[in-house]
Amino acid sequence: MTSKSNLVINPQRLWDSLMETAKFGGTARGGIKRLTVSDEDRRVRDWFKAQCEALGCSVQVDSVGNMFATRPGRKDMLPIALGSHLDTQPTGGKFDGVLGVLGALEALRTMVDMGYETNAPIMIVNWTNEEGSRFAPAMLCSGVYAGVFTPDYAYSREDRDGIKLGDELKRIGYLGSEPVGTHQFQAMFELHIEQGPILEAEGKMIGVVTGVQGMRWYEVMVTGQESHTGATPMLLRKNALLGASRMIEAIHQVGLAHLPGVASVGLIENRPNSRNVVPGEVFFTVDLRHPDEAVLDKMEASFRAALGPAADKEKLTYEEKCIWKSPAVKFNPELIECVRKGAAQAGFDMREMASGAGHDAAYIARVAPTTMIFVPCLGGISHNEAESTTLEECGAGSQVLLNAVIEYDQKFA
């Protein structure tokens, strides 16, 4: 058997795969638009399946489209999982999620090339709908896996055109036959770009991720009255967009008042969205995050308290509902130690950090020991077509992922 020190990943091969998959939904500005369970998602899934099968893996799909590619180990036991997501934001980059899946694929290719046999089987997972952009909430199907949501809840999620996730899964051929939870594993490592500026600013290659901050999503509908822009005097308007804009400013202030918390409005629909109609209805979403649940409670209360006065001022009504809460998560100390050792073994500078972004690992941590590995991204920019991480950084992440998994696997020797 090959010794673990011989396992060196091939950064160029990883990079070539990243660039190859970037064509599935590739945009003119160098990013990717690969919304979950779209035709582009189907194409990248087919590619991923073929690559894994070429490595001798068996590939299964569960009933919410999660994909599991397994390479047997020397022993008959639960696998060690390496996973992330292949879906992207509407103006996503080439690395968010994709690096976690393809970095795992590169780790597996390296093991196969070197004839290295792990004790436990190795399983690469592609989780369905991590982004939550097309179908809210985020981390949906890792959430189903973790028992947070039912499959029926996932199927019933609608995009902004009223199309259901379940129907789309069927249409693209990824409504699998395996009940969710069939593919159990004993631990999961997720490689990801940091999506923030800290590693780059400190010149560190590896983020040893200790947890994920809490997140809450809300939807707000503001109702006023459509009327003629030319004929309705300023003081007689019920302008839903004006009320919504005052709410959005107040929500921004909630973030500023609870640093390092963040508060964002990212999706807004103005109706009827005609230049000579006073807007009668506005729908928008709210995203609040903080590492401390007690502070998140305060952020929620102050955001809610700001809505009434903003509506009253413009003679509007509104409805607000919380559609998702993902509590703060702490990762598993044993796996964190494996990442630390894996980074040290490869000679990379590292620092501990919490994740500002949500990840499938946050839900998987409820049902299996889990942790994450971060690598830098240029300027900390993500959820942006300009998202950029170098070949060396991608390779470093994949190498540390491989080292950490091998370290963990040693305990089954």
Q: Which residues bind Mn ion (CB under 5 A)?
A: 96-97
- Here the tokens at position 363 are 């839900």
**DSSP E strands: which ranges in 201-316?**
206-212, 214-223, 227-228, 262-264, 268-271, 277-278, 281-290
- Give strand pairing partners of 374: 192, 207
Q: Which residue is nearest to Mn ion (CB)?
A: 97
Nearer to Mn ion, 96 or 281 (CB): 96
**Is 18 near ligand GLV (CB under 6 A)?**
no
Which residue lies nearer to Mn ion by CB, 96 or 300? 96
Could you say which of ligand GLV, Mn ion, none residue 358 binds, taking C-beta under 5 to 8 angstroms by partner kind?
ligand GLV
Q: CB-wise, 348 or 374, nearer to ligand GLV?
A: 374
Question: Closest approach of Cβ 268 to ligand GLV, in Å?
Answer: 17
Quick one: what does residue 9 bind among Mn ion, ligand GLV, none, with the CB cut-off 5 to 8 Å set by partner type?
Answer: none
Considering only 108, 138, 205, 400, the residue that binds ligand GLV (CB under 6 A) is 138
- The nearer residue to ligand GLV, 100 or 103, going by C-beta atoms, is 100
Nearest to 374 by CA among 164, 3, 95, 106: 95
Q: Which is nearer to ligand GLV, 194 or 281 (CB)?
A: 194
d(CA 130, CA 86): 8
Least distance from C-beta 380 to Mn ion, angstroms? 14
Q: Which residues contact 169 (CB under 8 A, 6 or more apart)?
A: 37, 64, 65, 128, 155, 175
Which one of ligand GLV, Mn ion, none interacts with residue 106, CB within 5 to 8 A by kind?
none
In degrees, rounded to 5, the angle at the alpha carbon of residue 388 between the alpha carbons of residues 337 and 21 is: 90
Under the binding rule (CB under 6 A), the answer on residue 358 touching ligand GLV is yes
Q: Does 357 bind ligand GLV (CB under 6 A)?
A: yes
DSSP 339-370: HHHHHHHHT--EEEEEESS--HHHHHTTTS-E
| Residues whose CB falls within 8 Å of the CB of residue 100, separated by 6 or more in sequence, listed in order | 82, 83, 84, 85, 190, 191, 192
CB of 13 to ligand GLV, least distance (A): 26
Identify the helix (H) or strand (E) that includes residue 318.
strand 317-326
User: Side chain identity at 184, as an amino acid letter?
Assistant: Q
**What, of Mn ion, ligand GLV, none, does residue 385 touch, CB below 5 to 8 Å by kind?**
none
Q: Which one of residues 62, 131, 300, 360 is an interface residue with ligand GLV (CB under 6 A)? A: 131
Binding site for ligand GLV (CB under 6 A): 131, 138, 357-358
